[in-house]
Structure 1
Amino acid sequence: MTDFPFLGILTLLPLVGAIVVALIPRRNGELAKTIAFVWSLAVLVLTIVMWVAFKVGGDRFQFHESYAWIPSWDARFTFAADGIALVMLMLIAVLTPVVILASWHDVESSPDGAKRSVPTYFALLLAFEFTMIGVFAAADVFLFYAFFEVMLIPMYFIIGSFGGPRRQYAAVKFFLYSLVGGLFMLASVIGLWVVGGHTFDFAKLVESVNSIDQNTARWLFLGFFVAFAVKAPFFPFHTWLPDAGGAAPAGAAALLVGVMDKVGTFGILRYCLPLFPEASRWFAPAALVLAVIGIIYAALLAVGQNDLKRLVSYTSIAHFGFIGIGIFAFTTQAGTGAVLYMVNHGLATGLLFIVVGMYVARRKSSLVSDFGGAGKLTPVLAGVLLFAGLASLALPGTAPFVSEFLVLIGTFSVHKAYAVIATAGIILAAAYALWLVQRTTQGTLNPALEEIPAMRKDITLREKVVVAPLILLLILLGFYPKPVIDVINPAVQATMQDVGKTDPGPTSVVANGGAR
């Protein structure tokens, strides 16, 4: 079954769907939505079949495919997936149909009243899914870079054409930040080709790492890291995300923050650590400092936000700090926790963005100050927002708690100070999550809300279908994360071996109270 070209078909399937939907006449918006949704479900079914076919404990990279592309550069259409890539592909496949269904009525008209093309919007969502799958499935460095840059295009048009009042500014800022970061990676990709034996094949490059000069490797690492830090984003490369997340349609923002940003942390795990092991160890202290600063700094900014979508965007920057310390702690527990955090953050933040989008669509405003007491009119929707907020702050019993616990305990075993400081971020997470819920749905009812007919409508059947799978997954993975951890753990262990790191041994306590 593993000889079946899963990754090639999985990559191309959304692209074909995007072309089909884009060709639908503008007047047939309902048809475009339906085809896009069914097409995304087909991608989900194929991804589930691939998950079942994946052999836990088998080869590190499975579903390998390779097709000729640019022979003179030894660049090929090479696809392969380890456990880390597989869980991210599953996250994409789950979130895309959820986002399409959540966006069913969101794009008919812009805030200024102008009519917008429904087929174009849903075609862009499928095109974005195509680029996201490609970037996680690529096993050729040049192919990865191509997807890394191409994925900017559909999101740029989604934000710039279908976003909020500041959409054009946010779209340009998003594009320029990512493009500049990508140029740093392009320089490193070229340098890696020169010193790595004139090949872009990931497996061949990993074999040649010991022949690369130490200083050269550090410069090449830095080029990749800057690009990934911008994409993630890590502090201080984060400033584009609040603008992009705040301006993008809520569904697209769920994909932007829930999946696209994970390309940065995935890239560090997949490329920076195995290709530049010594440089990764050398830069680790600086990366840990930036990650910890990001946790505290972004959480403090989130508390003071008056825009719902910007608030959620800042919380994501804080969460990426936890993923960062999990990666650069170089322990299996922390690394597994970091990858699991990437999945759980995508589910929790995706749910939070979608529910916030439901409130914004009803109120026609994303300002916290325009709400207040909304739970009295929409009690069920307010309950879903509360659950999403609690999942975001990693409440025990929800999936993010497991990943955050693994990150902290794995980091504490080697870097106690960083783990202790990062723990303060949990307290701040409680502050911004509960403050969001309280100011939006609790307290005295804002009289202006009663005058808006849409605000008197609680969660609809379509909205229940949208949020139900995310809630179920967050609860299921909160109590039983083993199936996902079993897939992730071997890939993380192999990555730690690439870096030359082993887990610390247990500490025994002697009778006089000392340790050895």
Structure 2
Amino acid sequence: MNYDYLLTGPTWTTASVLLLALLVVPALGAAVVAVLPARRDRQARIVATGFAAVTFVLSLVPFFAGERGQGWVAFGGPRDTAPLTPWVNLDLPWVPALGLRFHLGIDGISYPLVVLTGLLTLLCCAYTVRKVPKDGGPGRTLSALLLILEVGVLGTFLSLDLILFFVFFEVVLLPMYAVIAGWGGSERRAAARKFVLYTLFGSVLLLLGVVLVVTKAGTGNLIALTGAPGLTRTTQYVVFALLAVAFAVKAPLWPLHTWLPDAHTEAPTVGSVILAGVLLKMGTYGLIRVGVGVAPLGAEWAAPALGILAVIAILAGSLICLRQRELKRLIAYSSVGHMGFVLLGIATLTITGLQAALLGNVAHGLITGLLFFLAGTIKDRAGTGSLDQLSGLRETAPRLAGLFGFAAIASLGLPGLAGFWGEAFAVVAAVRRGGPFWLTLAILGAVGGALTAAYFLRLLRRLTHGPTTPTVHALRSSTAAVEWFAWTPLILLTLAVGVIPALVLAETALPLTTLLGGHP
């Protein structure tokens, strides 16, 4: 196939300008907030929220402005394939001497994550208007860092050039370190250092994989590489191994997950929400878009190992959660299990499995973001996250207890809520893959799902029921308007995606078929 048309000059359209605006607006917002005087700290946080709101609105536009109509079938799809076609495309010269291009695009795979990023960043910036950790730095600095994080995450989801993807993938490292180290708990610096060390290890492997692909294929264009990689089998094996480990660190996937509980436990509320809601998705998105798309033979070779690691993550995450006695740490470990279901869907290398993984990504971002918002409220008011000191919440704060119960039930995968579809159909995809090996993985995954229900029900029994402890007895029941502003969209979307999964799956089947080389 001739891809020379991809190297022609850019055609500027309203839609292509939109892609650039998605990155420029939050970057400009961070710069404006940074130069505002310190005495206007609260005003700066309001300004940051305004820029985040504009970015969120811009993130919705591609669905209406782009050239869609690729068709979709929920948890299945077409049997033919076609070149990957973004709804909106922007391809500019970046470093002509090296053949590098500033290539952005959006399609059905990336669009839900782009919107999720815009939404969670807006909610977190609004949250900082009223709630900034007392022991941290200025609130305006925190809101500026959130906008910089948004640039890195959006750039990762929009990039259609491997080198550009790597650059944006690394943009989030230092801002996230600063958020944890600057506004976290008592052990925040140790947790931030651990986060950086693990992420740098993954970054080295990612850079090696990207350079190897660009060197061997002669291009970093993901449109040209997807479905027609032109890489030898051995090269694909090596590339996929490098990329899989790199993305596993970011996701994080077992056994490279040990930085996550410390980071979540020590991070401020908004840091935990962004970390769980969108930063983890960079790893699983990269595994689908780059790993499977660029090295399909490597993905097929590694699929059994990925399936085994996925099931271990599901079971290990659940068993560890059954022993946890700290609220935020338990939610953090639950992410290991949920990401295990996402990996299981990816490992099946079927459209059903990949759609389950994409839906699981979005559902986890919504539900776990809500859980961390609620956990942060409880911990801030009670002064502790120890489950031994948190009991009887329904007696003193019944609305807060009810909302936490809703989020927990959604996270355990109750049918009709967003958490159900991704996990259930990851298991279904493993069964459909066929053979005793995949059937065994499906059964073990289902057992892990039952354990997920067990530890969340145990959590609710300890947190909301039982005798009221002195700590909870002193907890105020009233909620601030900014808290309802942060919680309400996540509650509504958890319900909406649970009832209408097509909100996420629309327009995914054909690009996923292209990633799989035409196989269903």
* TM value normalised by structure 1: 0.92
Partner of 1:44: 56
Counterpart secondary structure, 1:186: helix
- Paired AA for residue 188 in structure 1: G
Partner of 1:71: 96
Contact 1:325 1:411 in 2 (8 A): yes
Q: Which stretches in structure 1 are left out of the alignment for 5+ residues?
A: 503-516
Counterpart secondary structure, 1:69: strand
Partner of 1:152: 173
**Alignment match of 1:61 (pick from 75, 86, 97):** 86
1:293 aligns with 2:293: no
Tell me the CA shift for residue 207 of structure 1: 6.8
C-alpha distance in 2, partners of 1:401/1:207?
Answer: 31
C-alpha distance in 2, partners of 1:448/1:272?
Answer: 48
- Paired AA for residue 18 in structure 1: A
1:26 aligns with 2:38: yes
1:431 aligns with 2:454: yes
Contact 1:60 1:83 in 2 (8 A): no
Contact 2:133 2:183 in 1 (8 A): no
C-alpha distance in 2, partners of 1:55/1:412?
Answer: 35
- Paired AA for residue 322 in structure 1: F
C-alpha distance in 2, partners of 1:367/1:100?
Answer: 27
Tell me the CA shift for residue 68 of structure 1: 1.6
Partner of 1:514: none
Partner of 1:505: none
**Alignment match of 2:225 (pick from 205, 208, 232):** 205
Task: Show the 5 A alignment for 1:140-289.
Answer: 140-197=161-218, 199-206=219-226, 209-210=229-230, 212-289=231-308
Partner of 1:94: 119
C-alpha distance in 1, partners of 2:35/2:322?
Answer: 44
Contact 2:398 2:477 in 1 (8 A): no
Q: Which stretches in structure 2 are left out of the alignment for 5+ residues?
A: 1-12, 71-83
Contact 1:106 1:361 in 2 (8 A): no
Counterpart secondary structure, 1:78: strand
C-alpha distance in 1, partners of 2:471/2:405?
Answer: 22
1:443 aligns with 2:443: no
Contact 1:375 1:382 in 2 (8 A): yes
Task: Show the 5 A alignment for 1:116-131.
Answer: 116-131=137-152
C-alpha distance in 2, partners of 1:102/1:393?
Answer: 26
Tell me the CA shift for residue 108 of structure 1: 4.7
Partner of 1:336: 355
RMSD of aligned residue pairs (Cα, Å):
1.6
Contact 2:67 2:88 in 1 (8 A): no
Tell me the CA shift for residue 364 of structure 1: 1.6
Deviates more, 1:101-110 or 1:36-45: 101-110
Partner of 2:73: none
Partner of 1:418: 441
Taking a change above 3 Å as real, the CA distance of residues 470 and 448 of structure 1, as seen in their structure-2 partners, is: closer
Tell me the CA shift for residue 36 of structure 1: 1.2
C-alpha distance in 1, partners of 2:64/2:494?
Answer: 20
C-alpha distance in 2, partners of 1:108/1:264?
Answer: 28
- Paired AA for residue 387 in structure 1: F
**Alignment match of 2:485 (pick from 465, 474, 488):** 465
C-alpha distance in 1, partners of 2:385/2:466?
Answer: 18
- Paired AA for residue 476 in structure 1: A
Could you tell me the percent identity over the aligned residues? 34
C-alpha distance in 1, partners of 2:400/2:15?
Answer: 45
Tell me the CA shift for residue 2 of structure 1: 6.2
Tell me the CA shift for residue 196 of structure 1: 1.0
Contact 2:15 2:66 in 1 (8 A): no
C-alpha distance in 1, partners of 2:401/2:227?
Answer: 53
1:306 aligns with 2:331: no
C-alpha distance in 2, partners of 1:289/1:94?
Answer: 34
Partner of 1:509: none
C-alpha distance in 2, partners of 1:55/1:370?
Answer: 54
* TM value normalised by structure 2: 0.91
Task: Show the 5 A alignment for 1:352-501.
Answer: 352-414=371-433, 415-450=438-473, 452=474, 455-496=475-516, 498=517, 501=519
Task: Show the 5 A alignment for 1:344-355.
Answer: 344-355=363-374
Partner of 1:84: 109
**1:156-175, Cα deviation, whole Å (9 max, x unpaired):** 10001111111100101001
More contact order relative to length (CA 8 Å, sep ≥ 6): 2
C-alpha distance in 2, partners of 1:442/1:310?
Answer: 20
C-alpha distance in 2, partners of 1:353/1:413?
Answer: 35
Contact 2:15 2:62 in 1 (8 A): no
Deviates more, 1:128-137 or 1:405-414: 405-414
**1:172-197, Cα deviation, whole Å (9 max, x unpaired):** 10011011111011112121122112
